[in-house]
Amino acid sequence: MLEPTGLDSSAPPPAVRPRTRQRVRHLTRFARLPFYVQLLALASLAAALPAVHALTGGRGGTAAVFGAAALLGLGLSVLIGLASVTAPTSRSARGQLGTLVFAFGALPVLMAVPFAIAHGATTMPKAWFEMVSAFTTTGATVYDHPGRLDPSLHLWRATVGWLGGLLMWVTALAVMQPMNIGGFEVRYARGIRETDAGLDRFLRAADPRERLSRYTIRLAPIYAGLTAVLWLGLLITGEVPIVAICHAMSTIATSGISPIGGTTYGASGLAGEGLIALFLLFALSRATYSRGLLPDDKTRLIEDPEIRLALTLVGAVTAFLFLRHFLGAGEPMGQNDVRSALAALWGALFTTLSFLTTTGFESFWWFGATEWSGLPTPGLILVGLALVGGGVATTAGGVKLLRVYALSRHGQRELERLIHPHSIGGSSRESRRIRKQGARIAWIFFMLFAISIMVVMGLLALTGVQFETAMVLSVAALSTTGPLAEVAGEFPISYAGIPDSARAVLAGAMVLGRLELLALIALLDPQIWRS
């Protein structure tokens, strides 16, 4: 009789098991470190990517700068981690939110140091602005000509933006959702404890570090996997490798960072823009990637209010722009005009979706519509799309689709009450959440957003920036849509043409737009400080 081939229970465990347990212990120790130490370590480790890229390209000086930055950053992380490993860590949400604010204030300074040294011909304020813009996924740049930068520096900008997007994915669910801010206040207008007792008990019992670890483990592979798939897709369509990876990172993070000035100059053509448009859908709603992470997220994707509103807006704006150019053409269309019309339709569709998600990529055929009809493209429409923004708990900025949906539903309900005083509102749980309290809080946020635009415009005016320029730059910064400055005004606006003081104001506005004013107000709430 043949002997069984399975392992004998009395045999010693395989040699790989102690190693596996050791890796788990290392990950557990890393997860127990303070949040700011983890962020510093990950940012330092990311500097190895441009270092390797520069080394393979024969640019030893750039590789040495980023390699040294990675080693020094990791060494500093180890020292801070050893010094704080036994220190008591705050279990309150205030501590995690405060660390998030600190990260957007301090990490860009550290990221700007290797950028400035590797560039060699720039100033530290410009490098700092570049890193703030990238880390907040805004994508504004002071380098109007992409060829002025080393390809590895473009890769570093895209990597910083990609890390900023991942940070928002994780902290939106791990930090902002338990605090009922960041757009979640619309659905949970009465507070979490009154809507889902089980979810409330879970959030109260879970340690903040445990939530961060759990969501990072769940979301990071999805985030990286989507980026890798898009990168491979762009390579297949004929894109240059460095351009493909930068565009893939910038699409998933909605940063709009490009080493060639945007998708307009890409080699992948229509196929590449189609792939990018497909992956931009992940910035329309968290339901595209977070199903199963929250107990109450059971709505089908087609029934998600953010997805439906986004498709409505994209369809309506695209149809308006196309009909405007179609009627402006005047003469009957020939065969060439039909191709131009279809190209103009795609250009409007892609650009509309891109600015709604606050990415800021323009289609190659966007300006072709102007040549076809002879009519200029209204940039004010793109400003409105960027103000609306993408979905809650995504990498997109702006007011957010869910807040706009709450306001529209409230307005529709009020009109129905005027026409039919005895009408009955929706009885579903989603309708009850958003109908009244959610709309009120969404309106408050909209007013705070408008006040923020006025304040930023006033500060820019004090630095000598003209009114129209200040308006466009304020909206671009607060909605984290940096490329908006190139297309929204009558003439393109250069970030390099404004003083350093104005760029400092815009950098603060980018951080404010990324974190949202409600999050900063929450830090001043006495109840949060007592929790």
pLDDT beyond 60 at 474? yes
pLDDT tens, residue by residue, 487-508? 888 789 999 999 999 999 999 9
Q: What is the pLDDT of residues 339-353, one digit of tens each?
A: 777 888 899 899 999
Q: What is the DSSP string of 334-353?
A: -HHHHHHHHHHHHHHHHHHH
Mean pLDDT confidence for 296-301: 69
> Band of the pLDDT at 373, cuts 50, 70, 90?
low
Q: Tell me, what's the pLDDT at 166?
A: 95
Q: Which of 30-39, 181-190, 298-307 has the lowest mean pLDDT?
A: 181-190
**Percentage of the chain exceeding pLDDT 70:** 78
CB-based contact 74:44 (threshold 8 Å) = yes
| pLDDT at residue 132 is higher than 90 | yes
Q: How far apart are CA 343 and CA 373, in angstroms?
A: 12
| Residue 83: pLDDT band with limits 50, 70, 90 | confident
Which of 50-54, 195-199, 319-323 has the least mean pLDDT? 195-199
Mean pLDDT of 452-457: 96
Q: First and final CA of the chain: distance in angstroms?
A: 68
User: Which residues, other chains included, contact 224 with Cβ-Cβ below 8 Å and sequence gap of 6+?
Assistant: none
Which of 185-199, 358-372, 377-391 has the least mean pLDDT? 185-199
Which band of pLDDT confidence, cut at 50, 70 and 90, is reported for residue 311? very high
pLDDT band (50, 70, 90) for residue 194: very low
d(CA 306, CA 310): 6
- Amino acid 237: pLDDT: 95
- Between residues 191 and 422, the one the model is more confident about: 422
pLDDT at 367: 74
- Read off the pLDDT of each residue in 413-439 and give the average, rounded to a whole number: 65
Check whether 167 has a pLDDT greater than 50: yes
Give the mean model confidence (pLDDT) for residues 77-98: 74
Total residues found in the chain within this entry: 531
pLDDT at 370 over 80: no
For residues 294 and 498, give the distance between their C-alpha atoms in angstroms, rounded to a whole number. Answer: 44
- Alpha helices (runs of H) in 239-290, residue ranges in sequence order: 241-253, 269-280
- Of 148-162, 200-214, 289-303, which range is least confident? 200-214
pLDDT, position 193: 42
Could you tell me the two tokens for 171? 């902290």
* Neighbour count for residue 343 (Cβ, 10 Å): 18
Which distant-in-sequence residues (6+ apart) come within 8 Å of 46 by Cβ? 70, 159, 160, 163
Question: Taking the C-alpha atoms of 165, 168, 171 and 175 in order, what is their torsion angle to the nearest 10 degrees?
Answer: 170
Per-residue model confidence as pLDDT tens digits over 263-298: 989 999 999 999 999 999 999 999 898 876 765 566
CB within 8 A of 217, min separation 6: which ones? none
pTM, to two decimals? 0.89
Place 133 in a pLDDT band, splitting at 50, 70 and 90.
very high
pLDDT for 203 beyond 80 = no
Average pLDDT over residues 23-33: 60
Provide the pLDDT for residue 424. Answer: 53
Task: State how far the Cα of 332 lies from the Cα of 115, in Å rounded to an integer.
Answer: 54
User: What pLDDT score does 22 carry?
Assistant: 53
Q: Which two tokens stand for residue 236?
A: 């297949």
Which of these ranges, 17-26, 42-51, 62-71, has the smallest mean pLDDT? 17-26
pLDDT value of position 171: 92
Decide: helix, strand or coil at residue 359.
coil
pLDDT tens digits for range 234-269: 999 999 999 999 999 999 999 999 999 999 899 999
How confident is residue 32, by pLDDT bands cut at 50, 70 and 90? confident
Residue 175 pLDDT exceeds 90: no
Which band of pLDDT confidence, cut at 50, 70 and 90, is reported for residue 92? low
Return the H-helix or E-strand segment holding 82: helix 60-84
Per-residue pLDDT at 6: 40
Rounded-to-integer distance, Cα 481 and Cα 363, Å: 16
Residue 50's nearest CA partner among 135, 142, 115 is: 115
What are the Cα distances from residue 112, in Å, to 30, 50, 130, 340? 25, 14, 8, 44
- Please give the share of the chain, as a percent, with pLDDT higher than 90: 53
pLDDT at 335 over 70: no
Single out the residue of 172, 169, 162 nearest to residue 251, CA to CA. Answer: 162
Burial per residue of 188-219, b for 16 or more beta-carbon CB atoms within 10 angstroms, e otherwise: bbeebeebbeebbeebeeeebbebbbbbbebb
Region 465-490: what's the mean pLDDT? 93
| pLDDT averaged over every residue in the chain | 83
Cβ within 8 Å of residue 284, ≥6 positions away = 306, 307, 310, 356, 357, 390, 391, 394, 396, 401
HSE at residue 72, side-chain half, CA atoms within 13 A, is 10
CA distance 383 to 351: 12
